[in-house]
């Protein structure tokens, strides 16, 4: 079925080529989220950076400094997200800003190629922060295209298509980089050199901006703005309006507070699990990358399994079970001493990784009263998500800085899940069993 869009008269909805082009952007930019934020760059940073880094006379361990760099990136993202959300809602500059943030992020990934030794740690840090901003900023405009390319009855299917493209593309590139790093002599490189990984960062940037060109070519073009909307103010007005409304809705407030704490825990684990494994358990890079690959495979099965569980028992019950599992993972990780046990914990992380994100979004949708509030309420939801990453990674780095012991940092994350569980048990979600 092909239907004309009301907002884009010349654009046909449910066009297979356009949907494929949209999904292919996930194939393009997921290379950043897997290779840079999760699998390789955290390990590489700790290997190359000095054990202590001086910042205006204060000294930080490399792991706490890395945590703070993530916090800084998402503080900046949180500051501009409402503005970008307003632009995306207006629809007149979506493609233009998608191109801008994609270019910024991919070029920053390429700059990481020059991060070759300790004296260049600031270059590597700034490139990482900028690439993170480019990635998060591009997603705001990428997501905003969905209503312009498909009908509402196909949102879930088209979103899933993008997710599947992203999973396959990112794993394919990660395996390629892993092969190069394990067999450098086949490519004329010296064993033990940092060059294979730096080439990997370069490949991420090229992969990202290269595949994105197909997306840019086939997505709906920006419509002309009539200048009647103050784009740079609407976003903040919407956020303030939603905050005032949430104050009057205690059930929704409890849900979002719980979401903030467990998202802080989940995303900090995603960003810093490899840092913990390298520093506390002496994992080598190949072992850590293998863990991430296993985690990715298990995550697909876990997401499908919890989707079925949520359908049978309700998304609230599914989230409660997953929060308990996350809490167990953190407590167990703080005591783990062997690589075998850590592999087992990584398996459990995979089980609950995808499920908690999809179930959270489904639950939030059920708690929103009117469909016409979705855009503004989800803008606030996304902002809270970014701030939770700031909170979690900063807390992790701060405890590490104070104690010089990452195990205490992991226990702090367990506390986040305890708080989230206490709050979430009091949440009432309509049309679901009482728990």
Q: Among 226, 260, 279, where does a domain finish?
A: 226
> Is the residue at 237 inside a domain?
yes
For CA atoms 60, 385, 356, 162, the dihedral sign is negative
**Pair 112, 197: CB distance under 8 Å:** no
For residues 87 and 197, membership in a common domain is answered with yes
Q: How many domains are contained in the chain?
A: 2
117: left (phi over 0), alpha (psi -120 to 50) or beta: beta
> Is the residue at 341 inside a domain?
yes
Q: Residue 387: which CATH number?
A: 1.20.1250.20
For residues 159 and 285, membership in a common domain is answered with no
For residues 175 and 245, membership in a common domain is answered with no
Q: Among 175, 207, 226, where does a domain finish?
A: 226
How far apart are the C-alpha atoms of 231 and 242, rounded to whole Å? 17
For residues 308 and 348, membership in a common domain is answered with yes
How far apart are the C-alpha atoms of 77 and 82, rounded to whole Å? 9
**What CA dihedral angle connects 264, 146, 170 and 386, to 10 degrees?**
-20
For residues 53 and 117, membership in a common domain is answered with yes
- Of 193-207, 219-233, 317-331, where does mean pLDDT reach its minimum? 219-233
For residues 160 and 200, membership in a common domain is answered with yes
**Pair 299, 353: CB distance under 8 Å:** yes
- Read off the pLDDT of residues 329-374 as tens digits, 9 standing for 90 and up: 999 999 999 999 999 999 999 888 877 877 787 788 778 765 545 5
For residues 344 and 305, membership in a common domain is answered with yes
For CA atoms 42, 44, 50, 55, the dihedral sign is negative
For residues 151 and 22, membership in a common domain is answered with yes
For residues 109 and 144, membership in a common domain is answered with yes
**pLDDT of 10 higher than 50:** no
Q: Among 226, 247, 278, where does a domain finish?
A: 226
Instruction: Give residue 197's domain range.
Output: 10-226
For residues 176 and 258, membership in a common domain is answered with no
Question: Residue 217: CB partners within 8 Å, gap ≥ 6?
Answer: 21
The model's confidence at residue 309, banded by pLDDT at 50, 70 and 90, is confident
Give mean pLDDT, residues 288-305.
81
Q: How many residues does the chain have?
A: 435
**Pair 279, 334: CB distance under 8 Å:** no
Question: Residue 363: CB partners within 8 Å, gap ≥ 6?
Answer: 255, 315, 316, 319, 427, 429
Give mean pLDDT, residues 95-114.
95
Distances (CA, A) of 361 to 82, 332, 435: 19, 28, 19
> Is the residue at 431 inside a domain?
yes
For residues 220 and 267, membership in a common domain is answered with no
Question: Rounded mean pLDDT of the chain?
Answer: 86
How far apart are the C-alpha atoms of 54 and 63, rounded to whole Å? 13
Residue 160 tokens, joined = 């899933």
For residues 170 and 300, membership in a common domain is answered with no
């Amino acid at each position: 079925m092909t239907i004309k869009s009301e907002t884009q008269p010349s654009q046909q909805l449910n066009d297979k080529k356009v949907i494929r082009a949209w999904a292919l952007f996930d194939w393009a930019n997921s290379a950043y989220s897997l290779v840079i934020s999760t699998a390789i760059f955290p390990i590489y940073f700790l290997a190359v950076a000095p054990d202590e880094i001086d910042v205006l006379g204060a000294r930080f361990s490399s792991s706490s400094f890395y945590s703070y760099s993530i916090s800084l990136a998402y503080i900046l993202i949180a500051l501009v997200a409402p503005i970008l959300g307003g632009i995306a809602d207006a629809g007149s500059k979506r493609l233009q800003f998608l191109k801008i943030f994609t270019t910024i992020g991919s070029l920053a990934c390429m700059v990481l190629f020059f991060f070759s030794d300790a004296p260049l740690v600031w270059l590597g840090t700034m490139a990482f922060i900028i690439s993170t901003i480019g990635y998060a900023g591009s997603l705001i405009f990428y997501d905003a295209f969905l209503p312009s390319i498909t009908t509402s009855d196909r949102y879930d299917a088209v979103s899933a298509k993008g997710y599947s493209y992203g999973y396959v593309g990112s794993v394919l590139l990660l395996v390629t980089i892993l092969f190069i790093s394990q067999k450098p002599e086949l490519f004329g490189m010296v064993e033990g050199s940092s060059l294979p990984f730096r080439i990997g960062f370069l490949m991420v940037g090229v992969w990202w901006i290269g595949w994105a060109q197909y997306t840019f070519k086939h997505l709906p073009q920006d419509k002309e703005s009539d200048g009647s909307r103050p784009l740079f103010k609407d976003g903040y007005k919407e956020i303030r309006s939603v905050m005032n409304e949430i104050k009057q809705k205690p059930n929704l407030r409890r849900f979002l507070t719980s979401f903030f704490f467990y998202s802080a825990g989940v995303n900090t684990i995603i960003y810093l699990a490899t840092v913990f494994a390298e520093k506390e358990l002496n994992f080598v890079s190949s072992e850590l990358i293998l863990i991430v690959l296993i985690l990715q495979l298990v995550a697909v099965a876990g997401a499908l399994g919890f989707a079925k569980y949520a359908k049978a028992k309700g998304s609230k019950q599914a989230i409660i079970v997953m929060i308990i599992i996350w809490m167990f993972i953190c407590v167990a990780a703080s005591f783990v001493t062997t690589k075998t046990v850590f592999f087992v914990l990584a398996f459990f992380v995979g089980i609950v990784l995808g499920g908690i994100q999809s179930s959270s979004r489904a639950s939030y949708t059920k708690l929103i009263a009117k469909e016409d509030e979705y855009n503004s309420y989800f803008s606030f939801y996304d902002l809270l998500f970014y701030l939770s990453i700031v909170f979690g990674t900063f807390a992790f780095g701060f405890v590490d800085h104070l104690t010089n012991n990452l195990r205490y940092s992991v226990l702090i994350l367990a506390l986040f899940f305890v708080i989230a569980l206490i709050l979430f048990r009091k949440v009432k979600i309509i049309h679901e069993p009482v728990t």
